[in-house]
């Protein structure tokens, strides 16, 4: 079986989303959106590449990938995005 390899962008998003989901679980099911970026900056070991501005809009690279890949998590039913990120009740058991 071939070893699955992820791009740097995918790995960056996975790392941040996993940490946020674990923090949501620790907090009892939700985290305000405005607390997500500071939480990741303080608690995740981000590389210089992940912290640098990228693209035309010059957004920080890890925030771009986090926002992009969180859509897939939402569509799959793992998280709920409103004014706060939350874990869907049916997926909470998986943690």
Per-residue pLDDT at 1: 44
**Residue reference for tokens 């996993």:** 18
Which CATH number fits the domain 8-92, given the four candidates 3.10.450, 1.10.10, 1.10.540, 3.40.50? 1.10.10
Question: Cα(46)–Cα(82) distance, rounded to whole angstroms?
Answer: 26
Instruction: Provide the pLDDT for residue 2.
Output: 46
Closest CA to 8 of 64, 56, 59, 92: 64
- 17-57 pLDDT, tens digit per residue, is 999 989 988 988 889 989 999 999 999 999 999 999 988 88
Global pTM value: 0.80
Residue 89, pLDDT > 70, answer: no
Distance CA 66, CA 61 (A): 9
How many alpha carbons lie under 13 Å from residue 44 in its C-beta half-sphere?
27
pLDDT for 36 equals 92
In tens, the pLDDT along 64-74 reads: 999 999 999 88
């Amino acid at each position: 079986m071939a070893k699955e390899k992820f791009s740097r962008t995918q790995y960056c998003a996975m790392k941040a989303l996993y940490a946020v989901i674990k923090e949501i679980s620790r907090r009892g099911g939700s985290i305000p959106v405005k607390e997500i970026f500071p939480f990741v900056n303080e608690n995740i070991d981000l590389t210089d590449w992940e912290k640098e501005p990228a693209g035309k809009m010059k957004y920080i690279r890890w925030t771009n990938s986090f926002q992009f890949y969180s859509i897939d998590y939402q569509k799959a039913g793992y998280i709920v995005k409103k004014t706060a990120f939350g874990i869907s009740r049916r997926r909470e058991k998986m943690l």
